[in-house]
Amino acid sequence: MPDKIKVLIVDDSALVRKIVIDILKADPEIEVVGTANNGKTAVFKNKVLNPDVITMDIEMPIMNGLEALRQIIQTNPKPVIMMSVLTQDGAEPTFKALELGAVDFIPKPSSILSITVEEIGSLLISKIKSVFKSKINIQSKPEEDDAFEVVPGKQESMPEQAVSKDAGKKIVGIGTSTGGPSSLLAIFRSLPENFPSPVLVVQHMPEGFTRAFAERLNSNSHLQVKEAEDGDVLHPGCGYVAPGHSHILLEKTSGGMMIRTSKGEKVSGHRPSIDVLFDSIAGMYEHESVGVIMTGMGRDGSSGIKNIKDKGGRTIAQDEKTSVVYGMNRVAVEIGAIDVVVPLQDIAKKIVEYL
């Protein structure tokens, strides 16, 4: 019998620890090897127990989850899944944790979200197993590391010759999953002030978090970024993030290209699905499109980006070295769907080049 996946649970609430223990104990492939009620104990137990995966609360006494995460990644790196409360105060540290190196997060049970304890349990188990089976690239990201930092307003405008006169008629679609939020932030920070096309994003993320994520991208980019809503008309220099509960597709109207949201069946195991977006882009824009597939588990987006390439659009994949999980992008490369594979820091430049 194969070894069980060893999990360390970190949360200052005894009730939450018990709920998570009961959820994980029900799965025969997972073993809870320990718990901690603060970050300092978590750092110690990570060294002693050497778990395969850690679940981490953010707000805790003695040492909070962010500081514990930073020390764990610097001393004995392990995949850390954050347990996050969806509030205005909770969203910011959640996304900060992802920038510091957490591989993913799940929501805590909350009246704000229409998601049950059973659904959260199923989500947590699937993420623990996926993280354990995948080749996770965990990199220390200290705060002083500003390799991808671009201060809005400080960037040079895109040179006129860098884009064709028809660039405004084109569209950019980006799909990502595990490891995506911090990577998307790096790209949006690097897109220039006079960016000529709309950018549509599918980031696999629980319902309720996508609005806060869109706001974070908006505050760190020259683009105007929002959570996509049914009926949004696409505008150049604007970004649209798929809501956590719906697919996004495109519809041509007399007023311009419009976003339609759909709560249809999951595609490639996801709603929103990258494949749904990319297929819609390929159908509406054909060769006037740029598709980007990035870090993430599974294969969502790989067939859709192949569709973009087959219709004459240009396609980009994030490389293995800068991906937290080389999964979706690996599949896209293997099936011949990609024109160019580049590191994260070169994706924005390549997008501009293709426009």
Cα–Cα dist 301/44, whole Å: 39
Identified catalytic residue from 57, 275, 279, 300: 300
58/189 Cα distance (integer angstroms): 26
Residues in a beta bridge with 174: 201, 292
Residue 177 annotated in active site: yes
Residue 53: count of CB within 10 angstroms of its CB: 24
Residues 206 and 244 sit within 8 Å (Cβ to Cβ): yes
Q: At 331, which amino acid appears?
A: V
Based on the residue annotation, tell me whether 221 is a catalytic residue of this protein.
no
For residues 267 and 272, what is the distance between their CA atoms, to the nearest angstrom?
8
Query: Cα 304 to the chain's mean position, in Å?
Result: 18
- Options 84, 130, 134, 177, the catalytic residue: 177
208 and 113 Cβ atoms separated by less than 8 Å = yes
152 contact partners, CB below 8 Å, separation of at least 6: 189, 220, 221, 222
> 240: which 2 tokens?
């649209």
Catalytic member of 190, 204, 280, 323: 204
Tokens 């549509």 sit at which residue? Answer: 200
Q: How far is CA 2 from the centre of its chain?
A: 30
For residue 219, indicate whether it is catalytic: no
Q: From CA 266, how far away is CA 247, in angstroms rounded?
A: 8
Q: How far apart are CA 346 and CA 355, in angstroms?
A: 15
Using N-to-C axis directions, what is the helix angle for 274-285 and 302-310, rounded to 10°? 10
Q: How far is CA 301 from CA 23, 192, 331, in A?
A: 30, 26, 9
CA distance 355 to 196: 8
Catalytic center residues: 177, 204, 300
